[in-house]
Amino acid sequence: MLGRNGRFDEALGMIEKMPFKPDVMIWMTLLASCKLHRNLDVGKLAADKLMELSERDSARYVLMSNIYAMHGECHDARRMDEVGVTKEAGEKLD
């Protein structure tokens, strides 16, 4: 909820203080919030954490590609597309 409201500092603080290790769902939710609010820096962090947990997750690549494109960083968006991970048709990302 904090991420969806654009309160990324609080969201990251809460994640750091959790008594358990954040899972894919937590980082994916934060990444989707970064797309919503165009937050490239926190998006990169969330994507890196997702890479550690699930390397071949297509949603992470698609969301980061969209965030890069929103910031006019098309070369980074294309690089994300070149990784070769495919999204299943009809798969909802956020």
Whole-model pTM: value is 0.73
Q: What are phi and psi of 77, to 5 degrees?
A: -65, -45
pLDDT at position 94 over 50: no
The single residue listed with the structure tokens 């919030």 is 33
State the pLDDT at residue 92: 54
65 versus 12: the higher-pLDDT residue is 12
Q: Are 63 and 46 in contact (CB under 8 A)?
A: no
Q: CA–CA separation, 74 vs 50, rounded Å?
A: 22
pLDDT, average across residues 11-19: 96
User: pLDDT digits over 29-72, tens only?
Assistant: 998 999 899 898 998 899 889 888 876 667 777 777 778 787 77
Mean pLDDT over each residue of the chain, to the nearest integer: 80
For the domain made up of 8-81, give the CATH fold. Answer: 1.25.40
DSSP 8-state class, residue 19: S
Contacts of 35 (CB under 8 A, 6+ apart): 43, 63, 66, 67, 70, 94
